[in-house]
Amino acid sequence: MIVYEKHVGAINLFGRAYGSALPRSMVLAVPVGMLTMFLQWDVPTREYLRAVQRHPNALMVVGTLLGIIIALRTNLSYARYWEGRTMVAQMSSKWSDASIQVVAFDEAATGEPAEHGIKFRAEFVHLMSLMHALAMQKLRGDSDINNLSVGSLVDIPTPKPSPDPGDVEEWYKCISLWDYFSLFPAKRHMKTYRRIFSLPVLGGISPEEREVLSQTEDRVHCVHCWLHRSLVARRMEGGIKVDAPVVSRIYQVLSDGMLGFENSYKLANTPFPFPYAQCITVFIYAVAFLITPALAVGWIDSLWMSGLVAFLMVLGYDMLNEVARDLEEPFRFDPNELPVWLFHHRFNARLVTTLCKSLMPEVGIT
């Protein structure tokens, strides 16, 4: 996710190429511009295209229709992007609440159970961190457990990671010119990328955990089961020593958080429908290679101007379409994806605060 300032006239937005849709849309706009200039230059073609068209609107109607379609598609894509953000917020918020509740409620235990309390709470927080890390991995389509690193249960790493992957030098120097023209980084790059933006699990992962998880299709669900078993067991041994109805809240917020995850994950596993995407692509190519040159050559009487107009029209349509293709999968494409590593850092920071850094100070009433 690229964070940008808002200067007068938004003039600063021109200065960034990595993450821009501009180079990607050149791939189509430049050839069309050149084709148009060629047709304009070739006198018989030009004369034919002019003689044939008695009015530009007969062709323009297709262009207008495409404009409406692409504009609406881009808004659908933004809606997907935003739904992703909202659902991650729900997941993180509710799972944070679960952690607060478990820790605060368990600290109330007395006697023998209280002795095991620290261990239980540390384990619980570890499992929450593990579940969140696995969830983030699933959202970004990454199934390699080795991309989970070890995080500390007592310290919050500083400084906070940047939301913009372009700020991380290690990654920025991997980007080649090719990556500016393609939505997808090469596979090899993706591997590097996920390694650099690894997701720390508080307390690390034990070999036993690693083994079970590597054999499981649905890892988030599996850790969710562990969390339930862990809570039941702890309650039975005398921990989480608050009234039962209060305990039941924990299960509710866990479930609400899981619904947030499911709803983010559906964005990762349900692409923008194929026939819709294909329909728009067919349209774009038809407009780019048939309608645009015919219009530009037919109604503009200058080699350079007709090329420029054709270039601008195709750039307009295609740039918008590239934005749509990018946003519609909010967790997958670098660098405009939602920063899952930063979300995970924030969640971990909360866990650490909950566990170790939120003892109540003397409150201030003056």
Of 74-133, binders to a copy of itself (CB under 8 A) are: 74-76, 78, 81, 85-86, 89-90, 92-94, 96-97, 100-101, 103-105, 107-108, 122-123, 126-127
Interatomic CA distance for residues 289 and 59, integer angstroms: 13
Please state, as a whole number, how many other Cβ atoms lie within 10 Å of the Cβ of residue 41.
13
Q: What backbone torsions phi and psi does residue 339 show, to the nearest 5 degrees? A: -80, 85
Tell me the closest approach of the beta carbon of residue 247 to a copy of itself, in angstroms. Answer: 6
Residue type, 229: R
Q: Is 226 an interacting residue with respect to a copy of itself (CB under 8 A)?
A: yes
**Chain-centre distance for alpha carbon 298:** 43
Closer residue to a copy of itself, CB minimum distance, 158 or 169: 158
Q: What residues from 33 to 72 belong to the interface with a copy of itself (CB under 8 A)?
A: 48, 50-69, 71-72
Q: Locate tokens 């199934």: which residue? A: 143
Interatomic CA distance for residues 240 and 246, integer angstroms: 10
Q: What residues from 5 to 24 belong to the interface with a copy of itself (CB under 8 A)?
A: 5-10, 13-14, 16, 19-22, 24
Q: Is 298 an interacting residue with respect to a copy of itself (CB under 8 A)?
A: yes
Which of these segments, 39-47, 138-146, 167-175, 299-307, binds a copy of itself (CB under 8 A)? 299-307
Number of residues that this document lists for the chain: 366
Tell me the closest approach of the beta carbon of residue 97 to a copy of itself, in angstroms. Answer: 5
Peptide bond into 159 cis (omega under 30): yes
Q: Look at the alpha carbons of 293, 296, 298, 303 in this order and tell me if their dihedral is positive or negative.
A: negative
Q: Is 205 an interacting residue with respect to a copy of itself (CB under 8 A)?
A: yes
Closer residue to a copy of itself, CB minimum distance, 140 or 224: 224
According to CB under 8 A, which one of 134, 295, 307, 334 is a site residue for a copy of itself? 295
Tell me the closest approach of the beta carbon of residue 304 to a copy of itself, in angstroms. Answer: 9
Angle among Cα 61, 79, 27 to the nearest 5 degrees reads: 55
Interatomic CA distance for residues 265 and 257, integer angstroms: 12
Q: Is 235 an interacting residue with respect to a copy of itself (CB under 8 A)?
A: yes
Tell me the closest approach of the beta carbon of residue 354 to a copy of itself, in angstroms. Answer: 5
Q: Is 266 an interacting residue with respect to a copy of itself (CB under 8 A)?
A: yes
199-202 and 148-151: which strand pairing? parallel
